[in-house]
Structure 1
Amino acid sequence: MSRYEDVSKAIEQTFVAKFPKQNLATFGITAIDYFIVTEPIYTAFDSTKKDLEAVVRKGKVVAGKPTLITPTYALHLQGFSDDAYDYMRNISRIYGPNSPAIMYEYENKSIGLEIVSGIASEVANRISNDLENQKNDLSVVIVGIDEFWDVSLMKFIYEFTASSIEYNAREMRDKGLLEPQIGAGGIPRVAADQIEEMFKSVENGGNPEILKIELDKWGVYKFYEDRFLRFFK
């Protein structure tokens, strides 16, 4: 079996025993306690251990504050393939260069690992019940494959993000943050507000180069050019 097939199988066999009861925060950081329960890989070589022990990996997934981007902004992000940039250019043509989208960034903070007695699914249920009793609403219990436990975690992150997007977008829309700002080249209000804060920072001694980079990323330098150049007069 190829590595790709192994990963695909791991994804198929991964399931969430307990899903967080809250969405990702729209205007702040979200920290999710995770518990990934797997059957130890060594049971493949020692069948006497099968169904007797489980591996529990603990950690936190920290989601940064969701960030609004546009196709123009995405085209200035580094580290993607030519195909990815072609895709964003196509999105720009279809929906417009300033059509808003939400970008999420995650950090995995591993805490530790322990071997416990019991079948993986039963251990997962015990942990889930304990978390419910503790009223830990921002926690997840995942049953996965030992060798690909991080793939199981990524699958959860993808599904959790997908389940939160509509909620986050609605909150941003309700606050008017997605409204295009004509005087700022049509970028969403949240981006225009961010640029205003950066101008204030430069006025107070901040680095104008950082501001220039941000203006270029949003593709709106020409709308702010006169104001920007006044810093050098």
Structure 2
Amino acid sequence: MPSQDDIQYAMETTRVLHEPDHRIQTFGETRFEFQLLSEPMDQVGKVRIRTGEVEAMKPRILRPEPYRDIELEGFDENARARFDRMVEKLKEQGHNLAFLQYGFRFKRGAVNEELIHDPIESVRERVLEDIRRTGNPARAIIEGVDDTWEISVLKFAFEMILRSHEINTFDLKRKGLI
């Protein structure tokens, strides 16, 4: 299991290079594809590309205990502990996490890995050029840490919640739910 320092490092260095065009839907499921680029620790000039998807299931009920009821399906057995540590760090940094009480559920699908023998800069540019060319509105390009790559995916999902919060709040108020 990664240490607190490993998690902090992953949170600080993870970058979303390209965001999906849409946000998390208030009353439906939302699927995001991701390509996560990372450099294996002891392999100079190589980049691991993980390709997969994360699905945010629609919130079902309002939860009284905020982030504890966020479900993480398809992540490894240590994902809950890593997620809890990430949330604690965000609280310490002064983030308002009240929106987590809506019982989010994240499901990670199968992940494919490919090892490329090129510098990260070249791979990054090719992947970004590909997304500009194809224009896939559901794809995120993330650059993260190889050993704690799931933290990078969780951070991306969390950032999508933050970016979706305003529109979700508007939708909930319009329906008289808050």
In structure 2, give the amino acid aligned to 1:66. P
Q: How many residues align?
A: 147
Query: Does residue 61 of structure 1 match 2:54?
Result: yes
Give the number of the structure whose residues are more often helix, by fraction. 1
Provide the C-alpha distance between the structure 1 equivalents of 2:117 and 2:54, rounded to a whole number of angstroms: 26
TM-score (norm 1): 0.57
Which has more radius of gyration? 1
Measured against aligned partners, the alpha-carbon deviations of 1:143-165 in whole angstroms (never above 9, x if no partner) come to: 11111111111111111111111
Give the superposition deviation at 1:120. 2.3
Task: Please name the residue that 1:20 is paired with.
Answer: 20
TM superposition outliers: structure 1 runs of 4+ over 2 Å: 100-103, 117-122, 175-178
| Contact persistence 1:38–1:55 (CA under 8 A) | yes
SS in 2 for 1:35: strand
User: What percent of counterpart residues are identical?
Assistant: 26
- Give the Å deviation of 1:8: 1.1
Aligned-partner SS, 1:118: coil
Q: What is the correspondence of 1:59-208 to structure 2 with a 5 Å cutoff?
A: 59-71=52-64, 101-178=101-178
Q: Which runs of 5+ in 1 are unaligned?
A: 44-49, 78-99, 179-233
Note if contact 1:39-1:55 (Cα within 8 Å) is conserved in structure 2: yes
TM-score w.r.t. length of structure 2: 0.73
Work out whether residues 124 and 142 of structure 1, in 8 Å CA contact, stay in contact via their aligned partners in 2. no
User: Relative to 1, partners in 2 of residues 1:61 and 1:70: Cα closer, same or farther, differing over 3 Å?
Assistant: closer
Which secondary structure state, in structure 2, belongs to the residue aligned with residue 42 of structure 1?
A: coil
Give unmatched runs, 5+ long, in structure 2: 70-99
Which structure is higher in RCO with an 8 Å CA cutoff and minimum separation 6?
Answer: 2
RMSD of aligned C-alpha atoms?
Answer: 2.5
